[in-house]
Amino acid sequence: MKTAFFSSKSYDQQSFQIANQNHDHELTFFEVPLSANTVSLAEGYEAVCVFVNDQVDEAVLKQLYTGGTRLVVLRCAGFNNVDLAAAEALGITVARVPAYSPHAVAEHTLALILTLNRKTHRAYNRVREGNFALDGLLGFDLAGKTVGVVGAGKIGEIFAKIMQAIGCKVLIADPFASDEVQASYEVVNFDQLIRNSDIISLHCPLTPDTHHLINSEVLAQCKRGVMLINTSRGKMVDTKAAIQALKSGQLGALGLDVYEEEGDLFFSDLSSQVIQDDTFMRLLTFPNVLITGHQGFFTREALANIADTTLGNLSAFVSGEGELFKVTTQKLA
């Protein structure tokens, strides 16, 4: 199937070319993101393959349809950037990769917690400069602390298991928690979770309900000095409220793999440019804030699985055989 990739990087090309040896689709890789300005590149392609920050809104979908596109494949799990209702009205199928390596994101969440807590990033630099002083590196034992997991789906459940193995008490808030989760963990409501957790980690999808789930009112109800980790979607945290809470000490540490306005920043080398996002730059000034650029998914295993499932989606669409992981407004895959 003739497919145009947007926001593609060298590692995407590599993993997809390897996986395509089993499929033989016609793949064209564009580095630019998909938007109203770039959608004309997709003309004549039956499918487009997009990532987390590509804009697949109604206007873009209409232009895709006019250009002959009938399938949008997301090479990620989240689909908050696609106007599903508009796609359905046009008759464009949308498919995604429902799971590629929940371990990758859960393990990255742990990395953020350990780094923020034990300050290994600061210790690394100090030791290289011959500075062996420990002042400023004081952490706390994770064992015995309460970790609140918001959303115990594929990633949240693995993360909960990891934290339990470390000796933490795990609280889960998930209105749709599975029977297994309910049997293995203490499931509480969101208010109970935020009031009682030493560490809060977000693992639910971005929806209108979870937009700015963490805001100033919520932060005020948390334990003083709470650590907040977001590896889910940036818009779930009101960044300005988080900055105020960091300034007052109410928020003790913040680990982000995603950021509200990451679309203008992440996945590109901007090291020679003046970054215009003052809110983001303010975040970087805090010693107790750690930001990674949406790399939670970025493991060899995950890239191989993403390529395999995405090309499988293309093949299933063409042949009508095999599994097509459709996303619809009615029901998910």
Among 31-39, 60-68, 116-124, 198-206, the segment contacting ligand NAI (CB under 6 A): 198-206
Out of 27, 50, 87, 105, which residue is the one contacting ligand NAI (CB under 6 A)?
105
Closest C-alpha among 186, 174, 181, 182 to residue 147: 186
**Residue number, 148 or 252, with CB nearest to ligand NAI:** 148
Work out whether 297 is an interface residue with ligand NAI (CB under 6 A).
Answer: yes
Contact between 100 and 306 (Cβ < 8 Å): yes
CB burial string 46-80: b at 16+ within 10 A, e below:
bbbbbbbbbbbeeebbeebbebebbbbbbbbbbbe
**Residues known to be catalytic:** 233, 262
| Smallest separation, CB 6 to ligand NAI (Å) | 18
- Taking CB under 6 A as the criterion, which residues in 156-185 touch ligand NAI? 156, 173-176
* Euclidean distance between CA atoms 180 and 251, whole angstroms: 32
**Residue number, 297 or 325, with CB nearest to ligand NAI:** 297
- Taking CB under 6 A as the criterion, which residues in 253-272 touch ligand NAI? 257-258
Q: What is the maximal distance between C-alpha atoms in the chain?
A: 64
**Residue number, 205 or 263, with CB nearest to ligand NAI:** 205
| Smallest separation, CB 26 to ligand NAI (Å) | 27
Work out whether 148 is an interface residue with ligand NAI (CB under 6 A).
Answer: no
In the 8-state DSSP scheme, what is residue 317? H
**Residue number, 42 or 303, with CB nearest to ligand NAI:** 303
Contact between 89 and 329 (Cβ < 8 Å): no
**Residue number, 129 or 209, with CB nearest to ligand NAI:** 209
Three-state DSSP state, 202: strand
Closest C-alpha among 203, 3, 182 to residue 112: 203
Per-position DSSP letters for 304-315, written without gaps between them: HHHHHHHHHHHH
Nearest residue by C-beta to ligand NAI?
153
Task: Mark out the alpha helices in 43-189 (DSSP H runs).
Answer: 58-66, 84-90, 102-118, 120-128, 154-166, 179-184
**Residue number, 67 or 98, with CB nearest to ligand NAI:** 98
**Residue type present at position 252:** G
Work out whether 296 is an interface residue with ligand NAI (CB under 6 A).
Answer: yes
Work out whether 205 is an interface residue with ligand NAI (CB under 6 A).
Answer: yes
Work out whether 203 is an interface residue with ligand NAI (CB under 6 A).
Answer: yes
- Taking CB under 6 A as the criterion, which residues in 57-96 touch ligand NAI? 77-78
* Euclidean distance between CA atoms 156 and 149, whole angstroms: 6
Closest C-alpha among 163, 180, 165, 164 to residue 229: 163
| Smallest separation, CB 135 to ligand NAI (Å) | 33
Contact residues for ligand NAI (CB under 6 A)? Answer: 77-78, 99, 102, 105, 150-156, 173-176, 203-206, 209-210, 231-233, 257-258, 294, 296-297
